[in-house]
Amino acid sequence: MSKSSNEILLKRSNQSVRKRNGVQGSVPRMGRMASGAARGLKSLRFLDRTITGKETDAWKSIERRFKQHAVDGRLSRDKFGTCIGMGAESKDFAGELYDALARRRKISAANGITLEELRIYWEDMTNHDIDSRLQIFFDMCDKNGDGKLSEDEVKEVIVLSASANKLANLKKQAAEYAALIMEELDPDHQGYIEMWQLETLLRGMVSSEENKQLAKKTQTLTRAMIPKKYRTPVSRFVSETTELIHENWRRIWVITLWLTVNLVLFVWKFNEYRHKGAFQVMGSCICFAKGAAETLKFNMALILLPVCRKTLTNLRSTFLSSLFPFDDNINFHKLVALAIAIGTFVHIIMHVSCDFPRLISCPQGKFMIILGSEFNYKQPNYVDLVKSIPGLTGILMIVIMTFSFTLALHSFRKNVIKLPWPFHHLAGFNSFWYAHHLLVLAYILLVIHGYFLLLTKDWHSKTTWMYLVVPVLFYASERASTIINEINHRVNIIKAIIYTGNVLALYISKPPGFKYKSGMYLFVKCPDISSFEWHPFSITSAPGDDYLSVHIRTLGDWTKELKNRFAQVCEPQSTQARRGSLVRMETKAHPNYEHSQAGYPRILIKGPYGAPAQNYKKYDILLLIGLGIGATPFISIIKDLLNHIKPNDLEDDSMHSNSLGANKKCPERAYFYWVTREQGSFEWFKGVMDDIAEYDHNHVIEMHNYLTSVYEEGDARSALISMVQQLQHAKNGVDILSESRIRTHFARPNWKKVFSDLANTHQSSRIGVFYCGSPTLTKPIKKLCQEFSLNSSTRFNFHKENF
């Protein structure tokens, strides 16, 4: 065959591919392509997005790093990524970029590059010309420089991109996805693809995003877009104060009431002792000591109520939930503990540094007349006061409370402080848990201390037990109920699966009469590990399911041991559904108690207990935000919404019998943002995501998965992954990252944009914002709720999960 004949055949082949991909006639230069695609390529960055517009400052930083890493004035290939600001995970990607730029500029870079040559590289990477950026990316793929990409070259770049983005699963499937790209872009099986074909793929990728952005721009402007300069400082202060009071009025009145009661008790006891004989000997010191003691008794009683979980759970379903902020029970518990510490400190200081010295140094005649009868007519010395029952019980209480309160501090409880051996066991949750139980002794000592008061003889004036009796009965009854009914807490294991990311999923039988709301949690105990430890976990099954499920991440000694024990007997992950299969592990869990129950460790549960997320039905619109394992309380909500969407469940009213408040209407829309740094995390709830795609035809649930290990869209390191993702989802309806029908976004959400879009879409609505995850994001999310509630007609009510 002649050369001209080959050219004609090649031309016809190219024309067929162009026609198949919607490209007519000759292929225009990138500079003349559609504006949407142009904008897409402008975001094909080889450097961090924050450098854009700050190239001069960024180059100065690169110069400094060059001097640090260069040897004899030359920067090696291995140090190139570090020098331009790429992380260690992008080392191989940076190496290929290094080689591509060397080929492009015909630089001999085997022995490194000079600063001048690095400057040339830098100018190429920061070049705003569209053709230049695409050519560099193409050159990275085209290692042999023939202007064509083979399937093996595409596979190598996918492997590089997967490594740079920490996508181990994608790396294993690189050959499969390389074949997918070749199938799409090389339908005539020429064995290669060209640069214009990548351009065509990019054009299709950005067009749908461009349409979405255009639709959002046409929405009505809200008050959120009113510039702040049009508001006077006074009006803004009034608006912010009003919003603050409106959002926190329940907290404000409860704290005000609590402070008022403490103040009244202090003043009452202070004035009472001002008119007693002891005042003539010890002066105001005794008044301050007794006033602090009175608040101490009140707060020692009050501190028990926020941790009576069963009582609070029942109260959440009453009208009192609209008056008291039950979601803040743990924060209030900590606040009362602080008041106890202050009251104890004042009481001790007044006695030790003021009362005792005055009592001891008082003239004997005066002492015998005024206080002789209180001390059996014997003036005590310092040792006598310390050896007395009030003195000894007071010292023991101080020791126990100091020890327990110290180990309850965040730095000790979360094991932030690393203590040396043999004190390393004093940090961590277990130390906090057991130390808190020592406070039972402190309460016993407190009653004894109050009964043997030196200056009080009448039994009805010894009021310590009166303060404590009701709260202690509530608390003790809950604990006793747990112990007595422990046999009823035993559950059967239906299924146990260990997922990537050290997560153990337990599917267990639902005890008779176990009714709960989505968002609640329960406590789990494994007697084989510890006879005393109960640990809280969110319920991930829906109230209408015929089983209970929890997902437990390994974060401490107890959870690690639990996972290890189940790892010996539970089904391996390889038996789960393959990619693209819609076999849902959640819906396959049916009780079969004859199946090897003896092999599983014993599991006991108690609950359910109330949590902030259980009130989601109060809102028409939901914004659910979960970070990593923080998605668990919201999975139950999503499942509950799905149970009301599925056609077979709509006809089955039996599911409502297992739910509290099932007759309440469901929210109209739910936006679920799940942010995780590990690709394997999506396996935990893959079945739920597939169910959303299959049954939610009216788009009641809008799920957004974000994988933070992947560089944000527009970064060259994730460009090919984005292309493969688009092709795979369009062809097979399965996302390459989550392996479900829900498409995954890269990097982190732009939270301000999320709130702005919701404020525009749901004007004059009340949106419930529920967050569970790292404390670092709590303040930013809460601040955005306040900002958009203040500046728009939409009100965002923030709720955070607390354990």
Q: What is the 3-state secondary structure (H, E, C) of 460-501?
A: HHCCHHHHHHHHHHHHHHHHHHHHHCHHHHEECEEEEEEECC
Q: pLDDT at residue 105 above 80? A: yes
Show which of 108, 128, 148 is a domain's final residue.
128
Asked whether residue 302 falls in the same domain as residue 442, the answer is yes
Measured between alpha carbons, how far is 611 from 634 in angstroms, rounded to an integer?
Answer: 11
pLDDT at residue 325 greater than cutoff 80: yes
Give pLDDT, residue 158: 84
Q: Please indicate, yes or no, whether residues 502 and 634 belong to a single structural domain of this protein.
A: yes
> What is the spatial order of strands in the sheet that 503-509 belongs to?
493-499, 503-509, 547-553
Phi, psi of 496 (to 5 degrees): -140, 130
Q: In this predicted model, what pLDDT tens digit does every residue of 664-699 receive, in sequence order?
A: 678 889 999 999 888 888 888 888 888 888 888 888
Q: Which residues contact 282 (CB under 8 A, 6 or more apart)?
A: 354, 355, 358, 359
Nearest to 789 by CA among 229, 240, 253: 240
Question: In sequence order, what are the beta bridge partners of 670?
Answer: 622, 701
For residues 651 and 759, membership in a common domain is answered with yes
Instruction: For residue 110, give both structure tokens.
Output: 């085997």
CA 137/CA 650 separation, integer angstroms = 52
CA angle 206/713/687 to nearest 5° reads 95
R_g (Cα) of the chain, nearest Å? 34
Q: Is residue 222 part of a domain?
A: no
Rounded distance, CA 43 to CA 749, Å?
Answer: 17
Residue 280 and residue 98: Cα distance in Å, rounded?
88
Mean pLDDT of 75-102: 86
411 and 556 belong to one structural domain: no
Residue 295 has pLDDT above 90, yes or no: yes
Confirm whether 564 is domain-assigned: yes
Report the SS3 class of residue 552: strand
Could you tell me if residue 19 is inside a domain? no
Among 128, 161, 183, where does a domain finish? 128
451 domain residue, yes or no: yes
Q: Hey, how many other C-beta atoms are within 10 angstroms of the C-beta on 737?
A: 24
pLDDT at 18 over 50: no
d(CA 667, CA 678): 30
- For residues 563 and 627, state if they share a domain: yes
In a domain, 141, yes or no: no
pLDDT of residue 125: 83
DSSP category for residue 658: G
Q: What's the rounded mean pLDDT across residues 253-273?
A: 95
Is residue 223 domain-resident?
Answer: no
Q: Which helix (H) or strand (E) holds 289?
A: helix 284-302
Contact yes or no for 62/94 (Cβ under 8 A): no
pLDDT average, residue stretch 341-367 = 90
| High-pLDDT (> 70) share of the chain, % | 82
Which secondary-structure segment (H or E) carries 291? helix 284-302
Tens digit of each residue's pLDDT (9 = 90 or more) over 505-529: 999 998 888 889 999 999 999 988 8
Instruction: Indicate whether 186 pLDDT > 90.
Output: no
Beginning with the edge strand found earlier in the chain, give each strand of the sheet holding 669-676 in spatial order.
Answer: 744-746, 701-707, 669-676, 621-627, 766-772, 795-800
CA separation for the pair 638, 242 (Å, rounded) = 34
* Beta strands 766-772 and 503-509, pairing class: unpaired
Of the two residues 501 and 286, the one the predictor is more confident about is 286
Nearby residues of 746 by Cβ (< 8 Å), 6 or more positions away: 706, 707, 710, 711, 712, 713, 715, 718, 721, 722
| 645 & 778 share domain | yes
Token pair of 427 as six digits: 């940090």
Pairing outcome for strands 603-609 and 521-525: antiparallel
pLDDT at residue 486 tops 70: no
Q: Which residue type sits at 2?
A: S
Reported confidence tier of residue 411, pLDDT bands at 50, 70, 90: confident
**In this model, does residue 399 exceed pLDDT 70?**
yes
What value does the mean pLDDT of the chain take? 80
CATH of the domain at 69: 1.10.238.10
Beta-strand ranges (E) seen in 526-639 are 535-538, 547-553, 603-609, 621-627
Pairing of strands 493-499, 547-553: unpaired
Which pLDDT belongs to residue 48? Answer: 66
Are 443 and 531 within one domain?
Answer: no
Tell me whether residue 34 is in a domain.
no
Better-scored residue on pLDDT, 247 or 114: 114
Q: Which residue has the higher pLDDT, 361 or 731?
A: 361
Overall number of domains in the chain: 3
Structure tokens at 202: 């990019």
User: Are 278 and 312 found together in one domain?
Assistant: yes
Tell me the pairing of strands 766-772 and 795-800. parallel
721's tokens: 């992954």
Q: Are residues 461 and 608 in the same domain?
A: no
**Whether residue 468 is found in the same domain as residue 373:** yes
Q: For residues 101-128, b (16+ Cβ closer than 10 Å) or e, as one string?
A: bbbbeeeebeebbeeebbebbbebbbee
* Residue-level pLDDT at 20: 42
- Give the integer Cα–Cα distance in Å for 631 and 640: 15
Q: What percent of the chain has pLDDT over 90?
A: 27
Secondary structure class of 435 (helix, strand, coil)? helix
Shared-domain flag, residues 464 and 511: no
Domain extent for 332 = 252-477
What is the average pLDDT across 727-750?
81
CA dihedral 614, 618, 620, 625 (to 10 degrees): -30
Q: Distance of CA 102 to CAs 96, 113, 143, 159, 449, Å?
A: 10, 9, 11, 21, 82
Domain boundary among 128, 151, 166: 128
In a domain, 428, yes or no: yes
Decide if pLDDT at 538 tops 50: yes
> For 568-597, b where at least 16 C-beta lie within 10 A, e where not — what string?
eebeeeeeebebeeeebbbeebeeeeeeee
**Residue with the two structure tokens 């639709």:** 215
Residue 506 sits in the same domain as residue 641: yes
CA distances from 9 to 6, 27, 337 (A): 5, 18, 84
Which CATH number does the domain housing residue 495 bear? 3.40.50.80
User: Which residue's structure tokens are 């009914």?
Assistant: 485
The amino acid that residue 281 corresponds to is: V
pLDDT higher than 90, residue 135: no
Looking only at the bridges linking them, the beta strands covering 669-676 and 503-509 are unpaired
Lowest mean pLDDT among 55-64, 486-495, 540-549, 591-600: 591-600
